[in-house]
Structure 1
Amino acid sequence: MGRHRRPPDPQLPDDADARLHAIANKQPIVEEGVVVFHDSTVPYAYRTVHRPDGGTDRHLVRLDPPPPQLSH
């Protein structure tokens, strides 16, 4: 008999739990927060909406620093 290798386990997306939760409960699941990407100092606000139809909407907005204060 020949040797057979087992196929690799399927990789689920990181947000699989939230997607399944939205589908099972038939209501959107919203995740919001602030992230700074690797090798960067720029913060971004994010919002991810997992829809009951299995779709996902992602929004990412750069958080610019506030303008410098004007001296009087």
Structure 2
Amino acid sequence: MTGRHRRPPQAPPPELAAALRHAAGTGRPVVEEGVVVFDGSTVPYAYRSVYGPDGRCERHLERLDPPPPPLPP
């Protein structure tokens, strides 16, 4: 019986499940990389997700700061 404050485990999102299945089927990690801008923001972030064949998922997120303004001549 589940405790009062415990939630039943939820199924992973379809894209995560597909990457985990592919990693488990091939025995090699699957790497996803890209740039994302979250809703209500103008700041871009670079992300990298590594899905391991053992079911692990490591995610890294890094803010991409704009380059500094050019120096005046």
Aligned equivalent of 2:42: 41
Deviation of 1:12 after TM superposition, in Å, equals 3.6
In structure 2, the partner of 1:16 is 17
Q: Percent identity?
A: 59
Q: CA RMSD in A?
A: 1.2
Partner of 1:7: none
> How many residues were matched structurally?
63
Give the superposition deviation at 1:32. Answer: 0.3
Bigger radius of gyration among the two:
1
- Alignment partners' CA distance in 2, 1:66 and 1:17: 36
Q: Which amino acid aligns with 1:21?
A: H
Query: What residue ranges of structure 1 are gaps of 5+ in the alignment?
Result: 1-9
Could you list the runs of 5+ residues in structure 2 that have no partner in the other structure? 1-9
Look up the equivalent residue of 1:44 and give its one-letter code. Answer: Y
